[in-house]
Amino acid sequence: MLSTIRTATPLLLSTVFLLMGVGLLHTHIALEGRALGFSVAMIGVLTSAYYAGFLLGTYTIPRLTHRIGHIRTFAFCTSLVAVVVLVQALDPVYGVWLVLRVLQGLLLVGLYAIIESWLNAVAEPAHRGSVFAVYMMVNLAASATAQQLLRIPGEGFVLFCVVAILFCAASLPVVLTTQPQPQLRSMPKVQVRRLFRLAPTALVSAFISGLVLGAFWGLLPLYAAARGLGAGDIGTYMSAAIAGGVVLQWPLGRFSDRIDRRLALSLISVVAALAAVVNLLLPTAGGVVAMMVIFVFGGMSFTLYPIAVAHLVDYLHRDELLSASSTVLLVNGVGSAVGPLLAGALMYLLRPELLFVWFAVLDGALAAYALYRFTRRKREVTADDNFVPLVNTTPTALGPRAP
């Protein structure tokens, strides 16, 4: 295990810089767009554009990797995404930002794909779950830490430069590594209809998770600003939510190993919905209680997708994993693209506080659906059912791992 981690250290170090850049970029674009006069609905469209690029990248970047290899593609994507961020800093025109957000999503999902496929290649089968647990912790911890960079003084251009620096730094460990590149594999196929017939709760959960987290990343900073928080406090608020995902994902995942995963999804969704309702009743987004509530909400929300994937894997053969993970990522990505559009329109037309009404309704609907499916068909829980923490990024995340 330790030797595997040492081998993967360059990739994990690149992940730290990359995810710090991504986490800071998401929050800063929301706040900077608000400062430029963009409406909540317009910022929601920007977030949806990012996830639209995310979907395009799952088809385009892997093909580029097949042509020029992992290291060259990684260097190309990190350099280009840094350029895109700097262009965004120089040209605060909404139409330009819209195009640049698509490009950012396309390039960043390619970088995730390279990291995760490489981790799959270097990890021994017996240690892949542990390696990806470390990867998950690094991913969310880096995103949480990045929120504190919002405290750096200066105009919006300064933080765009910090993001570009982080993206450039992310390329260095990979470019300098002496580890061999992983062997290239065939492209997976998407099978939405077949997998929905096989495990409908998994795909519905992945879609609703996308609806929730897409709005979370793009609009939660605007909600916090509307509730009176400054830039630094917004960073702490976001960090608390992401920290919930770091701390609670593993115990909740292990909990889903002990009972039917549909029942676990239903219970977790109920807690997330209750946390959203409690948040609506709080007078402000600041304070210890508010931080505790958003911590719980984030912990529940970041756990739904990996448990949904684990539920799908329970019904699959090993040779179907790559195709299945591509399919569930596609469904989640569509939800992530649609969520900010609808939630942003709701916040713009009515009140920013209704973002948590959006969260509560979606989590409540998922709780009801998962419970309904649980009553329709029972699954025998065995000792072989092992949860593996996942970050919903790319179709390679489930690559060659055993269910």
> Angle at the Cα of 19 (from 104 to 92), degrees rounded to 5?
40
pLDDT at position 101, please? 95
331 neighbors 207 (Cβ within 8 angstroms):
yes
- In whole angstroms, give the CA distance from residue 303 to residue 271: 12
pTM over 0.85: no
Q: In sequence order, which ranges of 350-381 are alpha helices (DSSP H)?
A: 355-376
pLDDT at position 205, please? 94
Residue 82 burial by Cβ neighbours in a 10 Å radius (0-12, 13-18, 19+)? buried
**pLDDT tens digits, residue range 88-130?**
999 899 999 999 999 999 999 888 878 877 776 666 655 555 5
**pLDDT tens digits, residue range 16-67?**
999 999 999 998 998 999 899 999 889 989 988 998 888 888 778 877 887 8
End-to-end CA distance of the chain: 19
Mean pLDDT of the chain: 83
pLDDT > 70 fraction of the chain, expressed in percent and rounded: 82
**pLDDT tens digits, residue range 263-293?**
999 999 999 999 999 998 887 777 889 999 9
Q: Is the dihedral of CA 145, 150, 151, 153 positive or negative?
A: positive
Model confidence at 397, in pLDDT bands (50, 70, 90)? very low
pLDDT at position 182, please? 66
